[in-house]
Each structure stands twice: as structure tokens, then as C-alpha cells.
Amino acid sequence: MEKENPRMPEKHTIEDINPEATSVVSPLSLETEFKSEKVEEERFENPTKAKEEGNVSVTLPSMKDNIRNGVPPIQYKPERQKYWLDKRNLELEEAYMRIAPGIPLVNVNHKKLFLEKCKQYYAEMVKNTNGINPIDRWDEYEIVRMFGKGLNPTSLKTALNNIEFLVENIKSNEDVIRVIEFGPGSGWSTLMLRNKLHEKFKDKKIELYSVDMSPHSIVATQNSLDYYQIPWQTEMSAINVSEIENSKDYVNLVVGDFIKFAQAQPDNYFHGFFSSHGTAYLSQEEYEELLEVISTKGKDKAPLVVDSLDPMYTVKLNTLHLLYCSIFPSRVKKMPEYVYGKGTISSSKYFAGQEVKTLTKVHNKESDLFYNWNNFLLSKRKFRYFLEMLQSIKVTTDVINEYRDDVFPSYLVTDLVKKNKEYRWKVLEDLPECPLYITNCGLILEK
């Protein structure tokens, strides 16, 4: 399947930037500081002050059993959310919010605790549910990887931009706004989507449903929501969401297949649909079916916004250059947006045999967040945290390299809609600009 990618320049000028060793910070001194640094679990001096910009306070619903057909949903426990509240660092979160507004932060000092909690939640899910099965793509190992990705504001900025675009395009005078998220990952996009919906629709009830067939993804999302004190409940089957009690009081998580879940829903019920990378691993045939199904489930003018990797790009970043940019972030603006290395050949079934461009240095708007946050960490001598940030960018690039050949990229979704005149979807213009290695698609229902 031959494709001409308008985002791919035909010629590239490779400008080598060779940072010299400086007396400010060196990898050796970082390692020394890391080994000698005393790592402490920092706590709020006043937990009641723990409010993030864009986070809307809610009255916690009562924890009565919501039993339907004898199967109760799994619900959050206030004491577990209090556990995280007592461990968060308000000063650090406020600094992060100034650098990366609207993007959630989880303190890396809690990484081990977060992963232990995910294991605990998963064990409880298995104990209380019959027939639960992990899936190959999203298992316990992926929680570790997605936790690392969530530490990196660069990887979340694109999702935030697309969420804002989705929310801007939801128009409704109804009292309740209903949105489906396909694939929450570890819950970072779920948090941002929930916050932006509440931010725009302050006087309305929000019903947010996030579905994934991976139980590991769901328990990671449960933990992320607990960290940010957001009530949640989890349904263990792809049910009709109109049957869920108190759905407006929670973020509603569902373990289920995307298409089967969509098929179970009422017609003309939802105001919007979102997915950050989740639907990208559907085949073309599955994507076509999903588009057809949700076109009957969405209301007129309901938007769908998705993003994915672009399989025609990969990223292999120079660690010393990342260190240089983190020490001197103001110099990044004078550097070329992208520097290219030796390309490779695609194994994607959609672009087999075509050249994949390799990016070795990146100085775009998204990377500015990464460099500025790292610079703040270095200024505060938080060297352990800084090393975790370098590791997180490696996790992000590893995901790009390993998964890019598997994705059905978002621009092909746009092509599907343009070519199939029978779809009730129309292409939205003026999408947020993405980095070269990410692509997005925006559609709107016209009934």
C-alpha cells in the first residue's frame, strides 16, 4: 500500500550539535550524587491544600453496593486515596503545573509503591471475578513502561492537545455530557479528559466511560485516579452503560473489547469519543466496524478524536544531547526542530519496504517541557528524579520503536472516511499539530 506522506521532507540537513563536557553537571557527577542522595517520601504539610489547576473538587459518593444481576462493580476505597494524598508533594506538583499546565504528575519516588498497588488491585480483581485474562499487548510489564511514559510531559502534551480539541467540539445544551474513551493506558489521558470535561461543562453532569480489554490497563488507571483523589468504579463486562447506577459520580472503567462494548450501548447516546493510541492497534477492518458502530451510538455532531504513532518515523535520541539540553534549555530554541540519522526499512503491513525516518535530536514544543522540567530538577539537586526522567524518555522511544509497525495510523482513518461516502462521519479541520512521530484524526457525526 503506497503512501505519500506530506509531513515527510524529501531532503534533510543534518546539523550535528556536539555539546562539550561542562563543569556544571557531568554524567559521572550525576551518578555520584544519585548514589549518595537520601531518598525520602515527601509529604504535604497541609493535605487539604492539594488541589491542582483544572482539577474540580467533587463530593465523594456513598459506597453502597451497586449490584446488577448479582455482580457488583469494583469501587474505589477512600482510605486508599487518602494513602496517596498523604504522600504527594504539593511544592513539586505546583512547579510541574507551571511548566506543563494540565498534565498530571506522579512523583517518581512513588514508582515502586505505584507498581505494588497495581499488583494488589490486579490480585483483588482476579479474586473477585471469574474468567479474567491478561492480553499479550498489555500485561504487567506494560504498567512499568506506561508508568515511565507518564513521567514524561513530552509524551502527554500531544494527548492533552487532542483532548482539548475534542472538548472544544462537544456542543450540547443537555444536562448530562457522555463521553467514551477507548484505551486509558495507565490513566494519564483519562485524568486529563475528565478534568477538561469538568472545566468546560462546570454546570453539567459528566459521564465518562473508559474501556479497555486489558485488566492490567484498568488497574493502572484505578491507581492513577486514586493518586488524584478521583472516585471510580469498574465494570467487568462490556455492558450497556445506561444500566450503571451513579455513573455521574464516578469515572467509569470497563473491562471489555472496544467493538463489543460499543455494540452494547444505546443509540444516539454519547456526545463524544476519544482515544490516545488505544484504537491504533485495531486492524483496518476492525476500525471500519468500530466507526460504523459508534456512528449509531453517538449524537448528531458528536466528535471523535484519536491519535497514534506515525509508523514512518522512529526516534533514537542521543543521551548526552538530552543532558545538554536539560542543562541549557534556553539554547534549544536556536536548534533545528528535528535532526535526522540513518533511516531504516518499515515492516508495517501498510507501508512494507518503505523508508522510516530516524530522528536523533528533537527540539519541538513538546520537548521543551521535558528540558525545562529537567532543568528545574537539576536546580533543586533532585538528581535521582532527573535520572528517572532520562529513563522515561528512553521508555517513550522504546515504545515508538517496538510498536510503530503494528499501528493503523490516524491519517489512514481520515483516508477511510474520505473514501467511504456512506459513513456519517465528516473530517474535522484545524486539528492540533503533532510531532512528526505522532499523527491524529478528528471526525464529526452528521446525521
Residues 113-122 have pLDDT tens digits of 888 898 899 8
As given in the structure block, the three cell numbers for residue 82 are 487518602
- 8 A C-beta contact, residue 153 and residue 370: yes
Phi (first) and psi of residue 61, to 5 degrees: -70, 160
* Closest listed residue to residue 441, CA positions, set 402, 405, 415: 415
Q: Which residue has the higher pLDDT, 9 or 99?
A: 99
Q: Which amino acid is at 200?
A: K
Position 42 scores a pLDDT of 38
Which helix (H) or strand (E) element contains residue 219?
Answer: helix 215-227
Sheet of strand 74-75, all strands in order from the earlier edge strand to the far edge:
74-75, 232-235, 251-255, 205-212, 176-182, 272-276, 303-309, 438-445, 425-427
As given in the structure block, the three cell numbers for residue 219 are 488497574
What is the DSSP code (8-state) at residue 281?
G
Q: Which residue has the higher pLDDT, 431 or 28?
A: 431
Q: What angle do CA 278, 185, 372 make, to 5 degrees?
A: 110
CA separation, residue 83 to residues 112, 120, 227 (Å): 14, 14, 8
As given in the structure block, the three cell numbers for residue 56 are 474540580
Domain map (residue ranges) of the chain: 74-309+407-445
What is the DSSP code (8-state) at residue 55?
P
Positive or negative, the Cα torsion across 267, 165, 307, 443?
Answer: positive
- CATH architecture of the domain with range 74-309+407-445: 3-Layer(aba) Sandwich (3.40)
N- to C-terminal Cα separation, the chain: 32
| SS3 (DSSP) at 188 | helix
Strands (E) in 175-285, as ranges, are: 176-182, 205-212, 232-235, 251-255, 272-276
Residues 219-259 have pLDDT tens digits of 999 999 999 999 999 999 889 999 998 899 999 999 999 99
Position 99 scores a pLDDT of 96
CA 167, chain centre distance (Å): 16
As given in the structure block, the three cell numbers for residue 280 are 491504533
Residues 161-198 have pLDDT tens digits of 999 999 999 999 999 999 999 999 889 999 999 999 99
d(CA 427, CA 412) in angstroms, rounded, equals 12
What is the DSSP code (8-state) at residue 381?
T
| SS3 (DSSP) at 129 | coil
Q: Biggest alpha carbon distance in the chain?
A: 67
Mean pLDDT of 253-266: 97
Position 396 scores a pLDDT of 81
Q: Which amino acid is at 118?
A: C
- 8 A C-beta contact, residue 360 and residue 316: yes
d(CA 223, CA 185) in angstroms, rounded, equals 12
Positive or negative, the Cα torsion across 421, 271, 184, 41?
Answer: positive
d(CA 7, CA 437) in angstroms, rounded, equals 10
| pLDDT of 310 over the 70 cut | yes
| pLDDT of 12 over the 60 cut | no
- 8 A C-beta contact, residue 340 and residue 358: yes
Q: Which residue has the higher pLDDT, 105 or 155?
A: 105
- 8 A C-beta contact, residue 312 and residue 356: yes
Which helix (H) or strand (E) element contains residue 285?
Answer: helix 284-297
Q: What is the pTM of this model?
A: 0.84
CA separation, residue 321 to residues 15, 19, 318, 403 (Å): 13, 7, 5, 25
Using left for φ > 0, alpha for ψ between -120 and 50, and beta otherwise, residue 244 falls in beta
Q: Which residue has the higher pLDDT, 172 or 141?
A: 172
- 8 A C-beta contact, residue 201 and residue 208: no
Mean pLDDT of 431-446: 97
d(CA 16, CA 328) in angstroms, rounded, equals 17
Positive or negative, the Cα torsion across 417, 419, 421, 427?
Answer: positive
Position 139 scores a pLDDT of 57
